[in-house]
Amino acid sequence: MNPPASSPTAHPDGALDRIRRFFLGDKFAAHASIELLAVSPGHARARMTLGPHHLNEVFFD
């Protein structure tokens, strides 16, 4: 079975742009400071910058 034409695995050249556009509209990703770095079929790499709102007070004074 072949993936649909809109699937990132069907057209990997445009996958990163499509997924970046999705992340731009994703409120959780924006709030959590998640930045998409790379996308390929079956793999993605993201970076998340930790801020004070991510820290657990149990471990920090």
How does pLDDT run across 21-57, given as a tens digit for each residue? 888 889 998 888 888 888 777 888 999 988 887 777 7
Tokens representing residue 1 in the block: 């079975």
pLDDT at 35: 86
Taking CA atoms, 13 is separated from 4, 19, 22, 30, 35, in Å, by 15, 11, 16, 24, 19
Taking CA atoms, 50 is separated from 4, 6, 32, 57, 61, in Å, by 36, 33, 8, 14, 17
How many other CB atoms are found less than 10 A from the CB of residue 39? 19
| pTM higher than the cut 0.75 | no
